[in-house]
Every structure is written in structure tokens, then in C-alpha cells.
A and B are shown apart, each in its own frame.
Chain A
């Protein structure tokens, strides 16, 4: 389904996904070592 069609039918846009906050925090602390 194209992005225009998805919007027309009320579906979420392709970029509208859960933001991985917990993974970001994990990566930050693992980056600190």
C-alpha cells in the first residue's frame, strides 16, 4: 500500500514506529563501559 493510500485509510505512516528508548539508554551505558 502506498503512503498516500495508507494515510487516506487512517493507517499509521511507515515512519510511525515505537521509539526504542530502553535500547538507547542501554547503548549509552554500555558505551560508557
Chain B
């Protein structure tokens, strides 16, 4: 009985000790990409500007080639459509990234949100929710928003 319970918990927990570093890095890239893709998908119609903003963010954050970026966005899009919560992605980011790096991700997300020049209600909701899950202080959250807004030239 005890062995069965232990097997069950082992199956539920991520195999941290045995996970190769490249797998962990890929998981982290995918988690970040899913959050960016979620912002992109918040609008009823996905514009080219938003897709470019997602690719630019991923390439800047993880030094990916154009082809790698495309494949990562494609994977993230699939993961995003199958996801029922954000925690599975934000928990990976919380485990691996510093606060400064997490604020950087939030700023990239704001850039995607402002890529079309307007901020929708769903985008606003998503940003607030993800920032809470990443434990971003309110000042840093607003600072990232202002920088992204200024960079996009939105009113």
C-alpha cells in the first residue's frame, strides 16, 4: 500500500534530479512562450504585429534562431490551447528565474499586448493574473507596463 502511494507521488512530481539540463531549459522556454502566446491569443484576431512581438521576445530572451523561434511558438500555441490553468507554466518560471528576469518576461508580455496599439479587457485580465502568479510587486508590474507602452507608442 505504502509503495503504491509512493509510486503515485513519484509519478506526479517532476523528476528534477534526473532531468537533463537541456530538457529543463526547453521546459522553461516553452513555459515562457506559452505566456506570450496567451497574450497574443487574447485578441479575437491575431495580428502580424503581435506574432512578431512574441518572436522578438523569445529570440531576445533565449537567443534562438528564427526557425527555432517559429517552432517554439508553434509548440507553445498547441500547449496553450490544451492548457486548463497557468500555474503549470508560472511554477516553472518561479523555480528558475530571478525577480528581475520575471519582470523582464512581464514587460515582454506587455509589449505583445500593446503590439496592436490597444489594450483589450482580456489582455488586462491575463496580465494581472500572470503577474500575481509570478509574485511580481505592483510597482514593478506598472513599471513594466509603462516601459512597454512607451516603446509601442500607444496612447
Residues of A that sit less than 8 Å from B by CB:
18-22, 25-26, 29-30, 32
Contact = CB atoms under 8 A, between A and B. Distances in A.
Contact of B85 (A22, A30, A32): A22
A29 B84 contact: no
Interface of B: 38, 41-42, 44, 83-86, 120-122, 125
B85 A29 contact: no
Contact of B122 (A18, A20, A21, A29): A29
Contacts of B41: 26
Contact of A29 (B83, B86, B120): B120
B122 A22 contact: no
8 contacts: A18-B84, A20-B84, A21-B85, A22-B85, A22-B86, A25-B122, A29-B122, A30-B122
Tell me the dominant secondary structure on chain B's binding face.
loop
A27 B83 CA distance: 15
Contacts of A32: 121
Contacts of A26: 41-42, 122
A21 B86 CA distance: 10
Contacts of A20: 84
Nearest to A24: B84
Contacts of B42: 26, 29
